[in-house]
Amino acid sequence: MKTSQKFCAEFIGTFILVLGGCGTAVFASSSSFVGILGVALAFGLTIVAGAYAIGHVSGAHLNPAVSLGLWAGGRMSGKDLLPYIIAQIAGAIAAAAIIYLIVTGQEAFSGIGCFAANGYGEHSPAGYGMVSALVAELVLTFVFLLVILGVTDKTAPSGFAGLAIGLTLTLIHLISIPITNTSVNPARSISQAVFVGGWAVEQLWLFIVAPIIGAILAGYVYKQLFAVKSKK
């Protein structure tokens, strides 16, 4: 595939991820029918859809941390890394702009509130501090990447990777929505913080640094411990 095709696939896929996941959080999370479980499923289902729709084009990373983790694990060329990350961030911001446009058109609109932005301390849904947020984001991204690397390994059963990755992301959201609103994805965090500003931008560093560290560690660990070495 051409780099331009991969760029477009990552842009569109990340757009759908943020629109589906953050859109559900903004528009429907207060509904007794949706709640935390519904938001977690929304993120998981968008990953499943993206994996099967554009996985054959770009791999459906939809997340700068995933791209960096796959690069660290020897699964991605360095020349594609920057275009992927740019496409993912641009797609996420475009989706956040659509969510903003819709939510500000509500008749009773009085402010965007947290806008599904990630936060810690007083901006954590359940009041978790910075250290708790840092540990959760780093460890859960590490786990996420280990799963991705495992199910996409050439020796793994084929055809089920998208489902396994989507279900893992659902589980991660069930664990960490009360802690940070769940990031494990710098593009998703950047997109919401851009529109919230203030505290969301000030705390954004954690939701960029922690997922990236967790992802790169997972890539290195998988490559050293679990990757099948070709015989010379």
Contact between 103 and 112 (Cβ < 8 Å): yes
- The whole-angstrom separation of Cα 157 and Cα 152 is 9
* Average pLDDT of the segment spanning 198-213: 98
pLDDT surpassing 70 at residue 29: yes
Q: Is 205 helix (H, G, I), strand (E, B) or coil?
A: helix
Q: Which pLDDT does position 31 carry in this prediction?
A: 65
Mean pLDDT rounded to a whole number for the chain: 93
CA–centroid distance for 214 within its chain: 13
* pLDDT, tens digit, 9 for 90 and up, residues 78-128: 999 999 999 999 999 999 999 999 999 988 888 888 999 999 999 999 999
Percentage of the chain exceeding pLDDT 70: 97
Summarize the confidence of residues 124-150 as an average pLDDT: 97
72 pLDDT band, cuts 50/70/90, is: very high
Which stretch of DSSP H or E encloses residue 15? helix 3-28
pLDDT tens digit string along 30-51?
A: 765 788 999 999 999 999 999 9
pLDDT reported for residue 156: 86
**Angle made by CA atoms 188, 189, 192, in degrees to the nearest 5:** 90
Task: Reply yes or no on domain 3-225 having CATH 1.20.1080.10.
Answer: yes
Predicted confidence band of residue 232 (pLDDT cuts 50, 70, 90): very low
Q: Can you spell out the DSSP letters for 92-127?
A: HHHHHHHHHHHHTTSTT----TTTT----GGGSTT-
Lowest mean pLDDT among 28-42, 52-66, 202-216: 28-42
pLDDT over 70 at 229, yes or no: no
Mean pLDDT of 21-26: 94
Rounded to an integer, the average pLDDT of 131-142 is 98
Predicted TM-score (pTM) of this structure: 0.94
> What are the residue boundaries of the structural domains of the chain, listed by start?
3-225
